[in-house]
Amino acid sequence: MQILLLPGDGIGPEVVAGAKRVLEAVAAAFGHQFTFREELIGGAALRRGLPPLPESTLAAARAADGILLGAVGDPEFDTGDSSRRPEAALLKIRRELNLYANLRPARVWAGLEDAGPLKPEVLAGTDMLIVRELTGGLYYGEPRGISEDGNSAHNTMRYSRMEIERIARRAFDAARGRLQRVTSVDKANVLETSRLWRQVVIDVARDYPDVRLDHMYVDACAMKIALAPSSFDVILTENLFGDILSDEAGAIVGSLGLLPSASLGDGGALFEPVHGSAPDIAGKNAANPIGAIASAAMLLRHALGLNTEADIVEHAIETVLRAGLRTRDLVTNGAPSVGTGAMAAAIAAAIAQQRGADSEERRAAPSTRSARSGRAATRP
């Protein structure tokens, strides 16, 4: 199984190293052969005089069974034109691999109920999945540009029925493995694209009579995520709205550093933490690797079909958080914290330990399925 690592910029290399360590622990515990290959992307490529998404990286991405990306973004390249920015690599790889479905689960981990800004009783039970359309909307719409005199600029928001329909189906399918509820988020009181969005989602919903659908304007949704996050199951939304709402979801569950994502299409699959390159803490062993490690769990599940292995990684994250291990983003007022490497090492160790305990259990009672894998099977 070929896994392509794209560490990228800022804290990307540190968190990807942590996730790789965890994947190695999975391979050792289950006897899998993972082959890792590493390529350049973003500012890391620009620095070597290459385009932000070099051809060799794209070719390796097409050949890989799963791709794990760290982050792209580097202040040094913030002034270039849009095609020479690190972020262009991300937009291009999503588009080239047709990764139109971005799954961003945000839930409160046991033990972190009071790590975020919300009261623990408001946060309790929060477990939402944001299904973000990823290859359309304002990010890609043409025409776009800045006028010659530099005094005006424009972007285009455009959606076709086909684009809305396929992402809506992803959301409804995901809801079937969860609480069977989809909230479609738009701005249909103002935007034509949103009115089409709403109509197509209603059409798709007819094929899912078991799933309850409601609609919400994006501004109201942003408010409700802060006021009553546990009221959501699946949030279905377009590209830019999903970008914004997923950062908010990260903040309320304790830290953006915790959030993983999967970008899926009809073939390839790319996994990346939702956070950015965080240049201010890069190279300081201060980043939270959990977003990247949970992304590796999603890679195991969605790209490699290794569900038990994915469950074990998530269980290991839970174990170390319950034990009180915290990276810097999860503590306040200088409370004790551990570095990126130590957090990843602890999660890798918990995997080895859990796997040992599981085989003991299997030897004792061969037909007993653990309760844990039953519950986790419903996760995205």
Q: Are 89 and 26 in contact (CB under 8 A)?
A: no
Q: Compute the distance between CA of residue 375 and CA of residue 380 in angstroms, rounded to an integer.
A: 11
Applying CB under 5 A, which part among 153-161, 224-232, 238-246, 348-356 lies near Mg ion?
238-246
Applying CB under 5 A, which part among 68-76, 198-206, 239-247, 305-313 lies near Mg ion?
239-247
| Interface with ligand IPM: number of residues (CB under 6 A) | 6
Which among 139, 186, 208, 233 is annotated as catalytic?
139
- Asked if 114 is an active-site residue, the reply is no
Q: Please report whether residue 243 would count as binding Mg ion according to CB under 5 A.
A: yes
Q: Please report whether residue 278 would count as binding ligand IPM according to CB under 6 A.
A: no
Q: Please report whether residue 133 would count as binding Mg ion according to CB under 5 A.
A: no
Which among 65, 127, 173, 247 is annotated as catalytic?
247
Q: Are 99 and 62 in contact (CB under 8 A)?
A: no
Buried/exposed 320-348: b ≥16 CB within 10 Å, e otherwise: bbeeebbbbbbeeeeeebbbbebbbbbbb
90: partner contacted, choices Mg ion, ligand IPM, none (Cβ within 5-8 A by kind): ligand IPM
- Asked if 203 is an active-site residue, the reply is no
Q: Which of 14, 113, 186, 243 binds ligand IPM (CB under 6 A)?
A: 243
Cβ closer to ligand IPM: 172 or 271? 271
- Asked if 208 is an active-site residue, the reply is no
Smallest gap, in angstroms, from Cβ of residue 180 to Mg ion? 28
- Asked if 139 is an active-site residue, the reply is yes
Q: Compute the distance between CA of residue 199 and CA of residue 3 in angstroms, rounded to an integer.
A: 39
Q: Compute the distance between CA of residue 133 and CA of residue 249 in angstroms, rounded to an integer.
A: 16
Q: Are 290 and 258 in contact (CB under 8 A)?
A: yes
Q: Which residue has the tokens 């999975």?
A: 26
Residue among 53, 216, 220, 237 nearest 137 (CA): 237
Q: Which of 14, 39, 87, 186 binds ligand IPM (CB under 6 A)?
A: 87
Give me the 256-275 binding string for ligand IPM, x by CB under 6 A, dash otherwise: ------------------x-
- Asked if 140 is an active-site residue, the reply is no
Which among 78, 219, 266, 280 is annotated as catalytic?
219
DSSP letter string, 204-238: HHTT-TTSEEEEEEHHHHHHHHHH-GGG-SEEEE-
Q: Which residue has the tokens 């085989």?
A: 359
Cβ closer to ligand IPM: 52 or 289? 52
Q: Compute the distance between CA of residue 174 and CA of residue 229 in angstroms, rounded to an integer.
A: 18
Cβ closer to ligand IPM: 86 or 289? 86
Residues engaged in binding Mg ion (CB under 5 A): 243
Residues engaged in binding ligand IPM (CB under 6 A): 73, 87, 90, 243, 274, 276
The catalytic residues are 139, 187, 219, 243, 247
